Amino acid sequence: MPEKTTAFKVRDILFLIMTVLPIVCGIVIRVLFVPSSDGIEISGAHIFFNMDFPVSPLIISEAQVNSWLVMISLLFLCLYLTNGIKENIHTKRQVIAEWIVETVEKLVKDNMGDYFTGFAPFVAAIMALSAFSSLMSLTGMFPPTSDLNIVAGWAFLVFILITYYKMKCGPLHYLKSFAEPVPFLAPLNIISEVATPISMAFRHYGNILSGSVISVLIAAALQGLTHLVLGWLPGWLGEFPFLRVGIPAFLSLYFDLFSGLLQAFIFAMLTMLYIGGAFSLEDYIARKQKKIKTKSTT
């Protein structure tokens, strides 16, 4: 392994600082600008301010700010993992970076086919953004995936890609797909088409939000149970929520960690399956050959 230069070490430190700094800034913003509450409060993202626009006001909320902070952190994390990568030199970080790339490329190839190999960066970005957004709840910040607007934006982007790849075989082929397998099912097929982004958004949003709500309710219930069972203890011992120590943290391993990572994987899988299933490679090749044949005869 070659010796690390001073410039390499400086870049490493800078990338690591810029990876952690956005999260620290998010925590500071929450402490300074988001009012604290006593007892149980289950609400959406805190709205910082509105910007007036002709059609409707643009709302800048905690969800949007935290999403940008996650994207900045991911950018510098990627720069850190790829810093100093060289051919035939295998450092620990290079092994990790190559494993991530190879795993995502294999996942895309297995679920979408060889034609969509270039989709690996997009799928990796969707998965990482979803996972890290959900994991922000571990820092006490509002997870962007608990805001329907954020997840609906991702689902709408996927819906545009689905429609684009359906249209690659021609507008007529796209319209004919609504009449399959039989024409009288066209209304149901249209409803199914529109329901795709809605179901993706609500599935992801609902699972993340429900985990946050359940965690808050269990923590509040444990506090009340502590006062009921141990309230007879003298002084501060009767006020200290003993039952809230450890149990909520154990539950967060599922609701915040496991569930967040699982939903990120499911959203990425649905993205691959919907886009890959919307595109007929045989019909696309046949359409291209027909175009070439038509041009050659004219």
| pLDDT 10s digits, 195-243 | 999 999 999 998 888 877 777 777 777 777 777 776 666 766 666 666 6
**Across 292-296, average pLDDT:** 82
Burial of 133 (0-12, 13-18, 19+ CB in 10 A): buried
Tokens linked to 247? 């149990």
* SS3 (DSSP) at 234: coil
What b/e string do you get for 15-32 counting C-beta neighbours within 10 Å, with b at 16 or more? beebbeebbeebeebbee
- pLDDT tens for 49-91 read 888 888 888 889 999 999 999 999 999 999 999 988 877 767 8
Query: For residue 18, what are the contacts with CB-CB under 8 A and spacing of at least 6?
Result: 72, 73, 76
- pLDDT tens for 123-172 read 999 999 999 999 888 887 889 998 999 999 999 999 999 999 988 888 88
Beta bridge partners of 58: 51
pTM over 0.95, yes/no: no
Residue 10 confidence (pLDDT): 92
Tokens linked to 87? 């051919």
